[in-house]
Structure 1
Amino acid sequence: MTSIKNILLDNGPMISSDLAKKVAASENINLNTASQRVSREIGLERLEGFFKSNQSLVFLPQQKEEGEILKFLAKQMELHGKKYWYVLNAVRYHSGMINKLFLETYANYPIAPVVSHLPFEEVLQKFVKENILIVNEKEFSFAPRLRYKGLNLFLSKTLEIIKLNVLDNFRNQAKNIGLVSYDSAELFGEYGNFRWAFKGVSPLDALKKGKDFGFVLGDILLGRPTYKKDIEFFIKKLEIIKTYKNASKIMPILLVDNLDHEGFMYLKEKGIIVGLISELFGDNYAKTLNDLITVLTNAAASLAKDPNKYLDLIAELRKYNDGLLKNIKGALFEYVAGHYYIFKGANIDMGWELYENNAMHEMDIRANFGDKIIIAECKARVAKTSISEINHWVRIKIPAFRTWITKQDTHKNKVIEFEYWSSSGYDSDALKRIEELKTEYKKNVLVFLGPKEIMVRAKEMKNKKLQNELNTFFFKSNV
């Protein structure tokens, strides 16, 4: 093995300039010669285009397989490519997946062309081209090559719903107290070529500049431990727009629920309002949100430890935040299915996203029994499940799940079963298709559950609280 590969083996992936310095020191050669050797070395992998002075991240092929790349990539981007690091950190902060609109707010990139700044679309294309991020419709997540272990699709999607609800409540509050003009408040508005989670025109005298009104601009960080480096994107956006000629006066506010002392003092130092959720909306509102996020953060462990906790939260949300309760109905319905599998003795995982058969596929629940695996699809909607949804599940998702299962040493010899849970049942065409599948589909057991079948399982569990919530919240009418 060459000295370059030995250095990478000992130190992990390295930025090319640092690697050249170590080669120069170990072989007693000048830096230019060492740099040329690094650039010509075969059998290495390189990630380029994100670092100052045309540097690259250099690593061994086996280091990619060991899942070490993201950790080193983030560290080197923070040191040598900070403008790209904000994108990477935003995805990491949000458990490995984020909607494009939110991502636009967390990266200090203009969403429209600005001199000396890359448009954000080009930045995203760069991440996708280099196979750092992948995109599924409007959702961005870490590419499989990075072997990211922190992906929590269930948490990521539900947190975005919670943040939208908090932003909507803040918008109403800002309008009601006259902080912004009634018709001007908007979510994900553009100001100064940047995206903001909240934007509103303010009639306050203190923000007027002559006859021109000022603006209230805000972003939100919620549901994760938040540190100084996580809020820097907000500071950078503000610093840039303040340099614009004839810029309006602004009132910046960052909505947060879990900010460390250093980050809090940093915002104060910069003259930014810290919008603590408990101060804005009250302790009961904040506590209910915190309890909900705690349950969501590790859904499987929460169900195993206190399987009725999510049912208690439904009752609390009904009192303090009924709008949010309705918006996260789908996530909570997955808890119903997970609750049953745990009752039956399974270990479960919730909210997986897999890349198989050249596409991303969301796996709602995987229940691992001693002799079999059950993979469940959960739908909680007002409309009945359609034939097109059933066909997509059978023709696209199940084959991808079967491919993935066969690659897992701990699963590949187990029986695989698939279950489809629909809180609203199935329309007539879907029911006909289900009857056809009973005779056509021979590869695995397929089970379809509507309200009646789900209630049978709840009664099997002898859980009155669950039965009540199924009738009053998840189902359209009593079963």
Structure 2
Amino acid sequence: MTSIKKILESKGPMMSSKLAELLEKKENINKNTASQKVSRDKSILKIKGFFASGQSFCYLNEHIKDKTFFDDLLKSMEENGKKYWYCLNAIKLNGGIISQRYLECYTNYPITALKSHLPFKIILQKFVSNGILIYDNDHYLISPKFNQSYNNFTQYKTIETIKDDILSNFHNYVRNIGLISYNTGKKFSEFGKYQWCFSGLCPINALKTNNKFGYLIADILFGHSINEKDVTYFIEKIKTIQSFQNASKLLPFLIVDDISPEALELLKKNGIIIGFIKELFGEKYAETLKNLVSVLNNAGASLKNDPEKYLDLIKELKRYNEGLANNIKGTLFEFVVGHIHSVDSNSSIDLGREIFENDGKHEIDVLAIYNNKVVFAECKATNSSTSLEEIDKWKNKKIPAFRKWADKQETWKNKRLEFEYWSTNGYDSEAEELLKSISKSAKKIKISYYSGSEIRNKTLEMKDKKLKDAIDNFFLKTNL
């Protein structure tokens, strides 16, 4: 074993400069020789291209299994490659998964190509090629090999839909009170070389310079705790724009639901307006969103301990924001199916779980684990009937991946596997024919499917008035 490997084995992952410094002392050699030895050593692993002065992050294969590995990488990037750190911190902050459009907003990196910067998409490709991130369907995820616990896709997708809705409400708010010129507001737009969640031309006289209007710009941080470090990207974006010659004056907003006192103070010191959701749109609306996030974060436990909570939230959302309720109907329907399975006191429920199997990422809408069986439920709450193409994908891609993954779970060896498809608006004729065929021919597994009438009958059997009302007046309203 080389001296370099011994150092990494005893001290853990570190930057190449630190490794060279320790090697210099250990072998009593000069600095340049030590640096060259580290650079040429092929027996250790390195992450390159993100650090100042051509440094690399050095580690051994066994380090990846340690839960602190990703945090070590994150800290090294913060200290030696801050502009790239913003990327990873934003993804970690959002639970290990983020869409490209929000990631572009949450970094202090120019979105338009500059001479001194690589294009942002190239930077993201470097993260993927280094095995740090996975790119899937316009979303970036922290690689599962780093053993990071992260939000499931259903949870993240729903929170993102909520953020989109808040931004639309913010657009209406600032337009109606005249903080932006009426037709200039845009979501996910570039201003000053950076991407913003929202921007618009601000006609206020105090922001005019040389007859040039200023700009209102805004980002939103929602669904997680916000600390001092988490808002620095926003401050740095503004500082950079203000350093430009003949820069427009800015009216900056950071929209939040909750924030630490230290982060709040830092934003105030830098002249940033903190747009608390409860102050902008009302206490009741903010409280409803907060409760919704809480239910999303603890879906399984919520269904077991307080199954009526999500049903109360549906009522609240329909009252205060029916548009948002309809936009997240798919997620809420997963709660319904989870609720139906949770009636058995011996079952455990998981919603929106993601697995990586058969060279792809697959989402389990509802996973119900019983004493004698494991149920994988696919849930659709759309305005149209489920198509043959969707059933074919479920049969040929999802079910094989779920079966392969289930075979690896030691505690499930004696449990029967069951696969269910729940569609509020039923199936087209070809899809129904395929479902009939595979449900009859399946031998080692059980396949079931349900449409509106069967779903309603199941809720009637449960004798739960709130659930029946939600089914009749929200999920099946158009087909009753």
Work out whether the TM-score is over 0.5.
yes
Structure 1 residue aligned with 2:468: 467
> Is residue 95–residue 155 contact of structure 1 (8 Å, CA) maintained in 2?
no
Using the TM superposition, give the Cα deviation of residue 133 of structure 1 relative to its aligned residue in structure 2, in angstroms: 1.2
Inter-partner Cα distance in structure 1 for 2:411 and 2:39: 41
Matched residue, 2:456: 455
The aligned residue for residue 317 of structure 2 is 317
- 2:340 corresponds in structure 1 to 340
**Distance change (3 Å), C-alpha of 1:372 and 1:28:** farther
Hey, what does 1:424 align to over in structure 2? 425
Taking the aligned partners of 2:241 and 2:331, their CA distance within structure 1 comes to: 38
Structure 1 residue 42, shift from structure 2 partner: 4.6
In the alignment, is residue 367 of structure 1 matched against residue 362 of structure 2? Answer: no
| Residues 109 and 119, structure 1, Cα contact 8 Å, conserved in 2 | no
Q: Please identify, of 102-111 and 409-418, the stretch whose mean Cα deviation from structure 2 is larger.
A: 409-418
1:9 and 1:473 mapped to 2: Cα distance?
58
Residue 291 to residue 41, structure 1, CA distance change in 2 (3 Å): same
Calculate the aligned-residue CA RMSD, in Å.
1.7
Work out the CA distance in 1 between the residues paired with 2:416 and 2:39.
Answer: 50
Give me the whole-angstrom Cα distance separating, in 2, the residues matched to 1:236 and 1:452.
Answer: 55
Q: CA deviation at 1:413?
A: 4.4
Moved more, 362-371 or 280-289: 362-371
CA contact (8 A) 1:371 1:415 kept: yes
User: Which region of structure 1 is more displaced relative to structure 2, 39-48 or 87-96?
Assistant: 39-48
Alignment of 1:205-354 (within 5 A): 205-344=205-344, 345-354=346-355
Residue 395 of structure 1, CA deviation = 0.5
1:431-450 Cα shifts (integer Å, max 9, x gaps): 11112212344442111111
Q: After superposition, where does 1:374-453 map in structure 2 within 5 Å?
A: 374-453=375-454
Retained in 2: the 8 A contact 1:424–1:476? no
Separation (CA, whole Å) in 2 of partners of 1:466 and 1:299: 16
Name the CA shift for 1:376/1:227 in 2 (closer, same or farther; >3 Å).
same
**How far off its partner does 1:477 sit?**
4.1
- Once the two structures are superposed, residues 315-337 of structure 1 have per-residue CA deviations (whole angstroms, 9 ceiling, x without a partner) of 11122222211111111111111
**Cross-structure match for 1:197:** 197
Map Cα deviations across residues 159-216 of structure 1 (whole Å, 9 max, x no partner). 1000001000000011110111111111111111211101111111111123221110
Partner of 2:113: 113
Mapped partners of 2:15, 2:443: distance in 1:
52
Select between 203-212 and 221-230 the one with higher mean Cα deviation: 203-212
Deviation digits for residues 98-154 of structure 1 (CA, Å, limit 9, x no counterpart) = 111111100122221123222211111111111111111211111232232223322
Equivalent pair of 1:471/1:478 in contact (CA under 8 Å) = no
In 2, distance between residues paired with 1:22 and 1:151? Answer: 38
- Three-state SS of the structure 2 residue aligned to 1:351 is strand
2:15 is the counterpart of 1:21: no
**Amino-acid identity (%):** 46
After TM superposition, the structure 1 = structure 2 runs for residues 89-104 of structure 1, keeping only pairs within 5 Å, are: 89-104=89-104
* Unmatched runs of 5 consecutive residues or more in structure 2: none
Matched residue, 1:144: 144
Deviation of the 1:279 alpha carbon: 1.0
CA contact (8 A) 2:199 2:217 kept: yes
Cα distance, 1:478–1:386 mapped onto 2, change above 3 Å: closer
User: Size of the alignment, in residue pairs?
Assistant: 479
Q: Distance in 1 between matches of 2:407 and 2:473?
A: 40
CA offset digits 1:253-297 (Å, max 9, x no partner): 100111101110111111110111111111111111111111111
The secondary structure found in structure 2 opposite 1:240 is: helix
Q: Distance in 1 between matches of 2:321 and 2:351?
A: 24
Alignment correspondent of 2:73:
73
Matching residue's letter, 1:406 = D
One-letter amino acid of the counterpart of residue 296, structure 2: L
| SS of match in other structure, 2:410 | coil
Partner Cα distance (2:140, 2:420) in 1 = 28
**What TM-score results when the alignment is normalised by the length of structure 1?**
0.96
CA separation in 1, counterparts of 2:47 and 2:453? Answer: 54
CA distance in 1, matches of 2:414, 2:431: 31
Whether the 8 Å contact between 2:471 and 2:477 is mirrored in structure 1 is: no
Deviation at 1:26, TM superposition (A): 4.0
d(CA) in 2 for partners of 1:28, 1:470: 75
Q: Distance in 2 between matches of 1:15 and 1:371?
A: 50
The whole-number CA distance in structure 2 between the counterparts of 1:370 and 1:29 is 63
Gaps of 5+ in 1: none
* 1:228 Cα deviation after fit: 1.1
Deviation at 1:50, TM superposition (A): 1.1
Name 1:32's counterpart in structure 2. Answer: 32
What TM-score, normalized by structure 2, do the two folds share?
A: 0.96
Q: Secondary structure at the match of 2:383?
A: coil
Question: How many Å separate the matches in 2 of 1:39 and 1:120?
Answer: 27
Contact 1:311–1:465, Cα closer than 8 Å, also in 2: yes
